[in-house]
Amino acid sequence: MRFALNSLSRYASQFDKIKERNFVEENLIIALKKQSNVEVKTFLLNQLNLVGGNKTIDEIKEYLSDEELCEPAAQTLISIDDKSAANELLFALKSSKGNTKATLVKALGNLKCVNAIEQITPLIHSNDTAIKKISSCGFS
């Protein structure tokens, strides 16, 4: 099943397959909402890396506060590479902690989100070594 879904996502992600991409995106979002298994949700988020667009941003932002799903959700938003995606990452950063915070800082750095500089700069002095390191090289 995973191989088939991945093949479909790859097919729909082709440049001229807008209708197919939208169809796959919508159905992956529906499947994501119905799942409770973290591993399955992670797989579906990874498929949205290929076909995700503006619809995906609103549907996955809730996972940015989830310790287990923050990373795949952030990667999906990075792949969308849209100002709205960066804004959701920035908003989630305000209330994040630990590994989730580190993931969000790294994602914002990957997107070169200059609006995040004000929130990330103080993290350079964090007691958390991982956050300190990621914050220090976030935009380099």
The secondary structure element, H or E, covering residue 73 is helix 70-80
Report pLDDT for 136.
Answer: 86
List the pLDDT tens digit at each of the 140 positions of the chain.
Answer: 999 999 999 999 999 999 999 999 999 999 999 999 999 999 999 999 999 999 999 999 999 999 999 999 999 999 999 999 999 999 999 999 999 999 999 999 999 999 999 999 999 999 998 899 999 886 65
Report pLDDT for 140.
Answer: 57
Report pLDDT for 137.
Answer: 80
Distance from C-alpha of 121 to C-alpha of 29, rounded to nearest angstrom:
34
Distance from C-alpha of 16 to C-alpha of 118, rounded to nearest angstrom:
39
Report pLDDT for 45.
Answer: 98
Report pLDDT for 88.
Answer: 98
Report pLDDT for 76.
Answer: 98
- With beta carbons less than 8 A apart as the criterion, state whether 27 and 56 touch: no
Report pLDDT for 138.
Answer: 61
